[in-house]
Structure 1
C-alpha cells in the first residue's frame, strides 16, 4: 500500500507540473524548467552522500562505540540481503540518524553521538534498521524525483513572474497570479506527503529488519522527546536536509507542522505497536 500511495502522489506531482507548465509558461517554458531542475537535482543526487556527510561533520565510525555500531549495521544489512553501507558518527548531542547515497551500492548511514549515548543497544539497532530500510526502498531516488518536479514548478512560477508567462492561458491576470502562488505550495504539499509516506514504510521495513517493532517504537518515543529539547544547529542552518533524519531535527524556529517532512511521532509509535501486536516474533538482537 505504501508503494501504491507513493506512485499515486508522484503521478499527481507529474500531472501538476504538466498542467501548470502549460498554463504558466507554455510548452517551451515547461521543457526549460524541467531540464534545469533535472540537471540541478542530478548533480545533488550523485554527490548527495559526500555533501550531506560533510555538511553535518560526519566521521567514519571508529573506537569501541563506533566499531560496535558498524558491526551491528553490517550484520543487519547481511541479514536483509543488501550491500553493507558505510557507517558514520556525527558529534551532536541531539539523538538522531539518517541514510544517504544514490543507491544501495553507494550508501551510508550516520548516527549522532547523542543517539549512541542515549538509547539501548536494541533501540539503536532498530533506528539503524529504519535507515537501512530507506536505502533498500530507494527512498533517496524517490525524493530526488519529487524534488525535481517541485523545483521545476517553482521555476515555472518564476518564469511567469519575470517573463509574463503564457498570455494565451484562460485564467486571466488574477488567476495567473493566484496560480503562481499556489502552484509551488501545492507541489511542496505533495512532496511532504510522499516523504511522510516513505517514513511509515521505512518504519515497517525497519521493524522487520531488526525483528521487533517495539524496539523502534521505544526509540522513536525517546528520540522525539529529546530532539524537541536539544538543538541541532547544523540542521537548523541547513533545513533542506531535515527530511533525511529519522525524526525532524528542527524545532528552534517553530516551523509550521503543515510542512513537516515527518509524520507525528505518536502516530508512528501507534502503528509500530499495532504491528507488534500482530507478530510477536523476537528479533536477531534479542
Structure 2
C-alpha cells in the first residue's frame, strides 16, 4: 500500500467514524427528547474533547508510567534525540518508562500533558540501541502524523455505545410497547458499537503502517531503518509470546491500540515467525484467508504482512 493510499484510507475511515458517531448521538438523544440536534452535536464534541484531555492520565495510571531520567538510560534519550532531529519536530517529546515486564512502546499526550513517548522496562531489557531507535522512530511517527490525538479521540467511542446498549437492554420500559422500543434502541447501539470497533481497528492498522514508514524514512538509510525495525518487532513479538506461553499475566486490556505491537496476539504472531529466523525471509510465508479475517479484529497489522512491507521499504535507496 503506497503512502498516498494509506493517507486516503485514514481520512476516509476517520470521516466514517465521526460521521456515524455524530448521527448516532443526534438520533438517540432526539428519540428520547433529551436534547435538540444542535445540543446533541455540542454534547458529542464535549464528550470527545473531554476524554481526549484526560486519557494521558489514565494511560499513566494503568501502566505505572513515570519520566525516564537521562542518567538511567542515556542511550535511549540519545536515540530519541536523533529521531526527533530527523523528523523535524520543534520539541523533543518527554521520554517516559512504563514499569511492565513485556517489551513494548507507545506515544500519547494531550494539550494538558504535551507529547510523550513511553518505553516499557521489558523493551529496555530486550532490544539493542539500534532496535530501540527503530521503535522510537515508529512512535515519533505517530506524533508527527498526529495519531496520538486521532486515536485517543476515537478510542472511547465504541465503549460508549456498548455501555449505552447494555443500559437500554437491561432497563426496558414501563409498557410492552415502550420496552420493545427501548430494546430495539439497545440492539441498535450495540450494532453501532460493533461497526465503530471494526472501523477503529482498521484505522489503528493503517496508522501502524504509516508509523513504520516514518521509522524507515528517518533512519540513516531505508535499508538500515527497515532492518532494525523488523528485528525489533520480531523480538517484541517473540519475547511477549514466550511470556504468555509461560503463564505470565500481561496487563494489556486498556489502551493496547497505543502499543507498537499487540500483546494479545503475541503467541499467534510468534508462531507465524517460527522457522523463518524471526524477521528474515519473512516474505516467503503466504498470508492466508484466515490470517486476513483475524486481522479485521486486531489493533495491529498481521505481523507477516507488516514485516514484508518493511522489507520492501528497505529496498528503496531513498524515501
Give, in angstroms, the shift of residue 59 of structure 1.
Answer: 2.8
Matched, 1:248 2:262: yes
Give TM-score, length-normalised by structure 2: 0.72
Q: Output the CA distance in 2 between the equivalents of 1:54 and 1:22.
A: 33
How has the CA–CA distance of structure 1 residues 234 and 132 changed in structure 2, closer, same or farther, with 3 Å as cutoff? same
Secondary structure at 2:95 match in 1: strand
Cα displacement (A) at 1:259: 2.8
SS state at 1:222 partner: helix
Q: Displacement of 1:58 after TM fit?
A: 2.2
Deviations 1:224-263 (A, max 9, x none): 1212222575633xx2211111011235999x76432111
Q: Give how far 1:45 is off.
A: 2.0
Q: Please name the residue that 1:191 is paired with.
A: 200
| Structure 1 spans left out of the alignment, 5+ residues | 165-171, 282-286
Cα RMSD of the aligned pairs, angstroms, is: 3.4
- For residues 28 and 98 of structure 2, the distance between their equivalents in structure 1, rounded to whole angstroms, comes to 44
SS of corresponding position for 1:278? coil
Greater relative CO (CA pairs within 8 A, separation 6+): 1
Q: How many residues align?
A: 273
- Structure 2 residue 219 is the aligned partner of structure 1 residue 210: yes
Whether the 8 Å CA contact 2:70–2:77 is kept in 1: the answer is: no
Mapped partners of 2:296, 2:154: distance in 1: 18
Structure 2: segments with no counterpart, 5+ residues: 174-180, 269-293
Question: Does the 8 A contact of 2:109 with 2:148 survive in 1?
Answer: yes
From 149, 158, 179, the counterpart of 2:188: 179
Shift of 1:20: 4.1
**1:228 aligned onto 2:241:** yes
2:303 aligns with 265
Equivalent-residue separation in structure 1 for 2:76 and 2:267 (angstroms) = 32
Query: How far apart are residue 278 of structure 1 and its match?
Result: 2.1
Q: Counterpart of 1:278?
A: 316
Deviation sequence 1:164-215 (CA, Å, 0-9, x none): 7xxxxxxx89975653332210111111111111111011012112342221
Provide the TM-score with structure 1 as the length reference: 0.80
Q: Compared with structure 1, are the counterparts of its residues 42 and 214 closer, same or farther at alpha carbon in structure 2 (3 Å cutoff)?
A: same
Q: Distance in 2 between matches of 1:19 and 1:74?
A: 43
Q: What per-residue deviation string (whole Å, max 9, x for no partner) do you get for residues 120-172 of structure 1? A: 221110001101111111112111332365456446646765577xxxxxxx8
What is the distance in 1 between the residues matched to 2:295 and 2:107? Answer: 23
Return the alpha-carbon distance in structure 2 between the equivalents of residues 116 and 35 of structure 1.
Answer: 44
